[in-house]
Amino acid sequence: MMTLPPTQFFGETIVRRQLPHLFITENVYSDGMSLQPHEHERAFLAVCISGAYSESVASTTYERIASTVAFHPAYERHASTSVAGARIISVVFSPAWIPRLCAVLQTCAPASVDLRPIASVLPRLKHELRRTDTAASLVLEACVLEIVAAMIRPPSAREAGWLDTVLREIERRFN
């Protein structure tokens, strides 16, 4: 089985950034591309920003669709097949961040977490990944932390609070 170093991912690399505590890469996986079982040296997040893929971890297969994220602990064996030309942003944590984040993210692995309640973070993450100024590094870290926070909140707390506000405002204005 292949073990990938922290900065190596399959697929076509679109953009990659090395930050002080994160390595972030955006890769495209062609429709039908199949990856044999492999593992990664470091824990990472796989954020599916478009398309879809199926992923086998242990004896379970998970369907990963756009606007979902999955946490992969270091040395977790997995295999995947792109079923709709997946575009994935992978976020690798530096050794300094691993104790801080991996312990809380273990409860999420290997399931997918729906990021639609924080949907605005995904275009921002993609946009800032292409910028190279000092602010972009901070925004990228903020986006990653917002994704982590969404992952560790209980499902009931992930609901979009803005919707209640909008509904109350509509009710106030039109009733």
Q: How far apart are CA 150 and CA 159, in angstroms?
A: 10
Does residue 15 sit in helix, strand or coil? strand
Long-range contact set of residues 127-135: C-beta below 8 Å, sequence gap at least 24? 129/15, 129/17, 129/24, 129/26, 129/89, 130/15
pLDDT at 163: 62
Residues 38-48: b if buried by 16+ CB within 10 A, e if exposed? bebebbbbbbb
- Residue 108: the pLDDT is 84
Please enumerate in sequence order all residues whose Cβ is within 8 A of that of 39, keeping only pairs 6 or more positions apart, or say none. Answer: 1, 2, 3, 4, 74, 75, 76, 77, 78
Write down the pLDDT at residue 107: 84
104-113, 153-162, 163-172 — which one is most confidently predicted on average? 104-113
Whether 139 has a pLDDT exceeding 80, the answer reads: yes
The predicted pLDDT at position 159 comes to 56
pLDDT digits (tens, 9 = 90+) for 55-79: 999 999 999 999 999 999 999 999 9
Domains of the chain: 2-174 (2.60.120.10)
pLDDT at 160 over 80: no
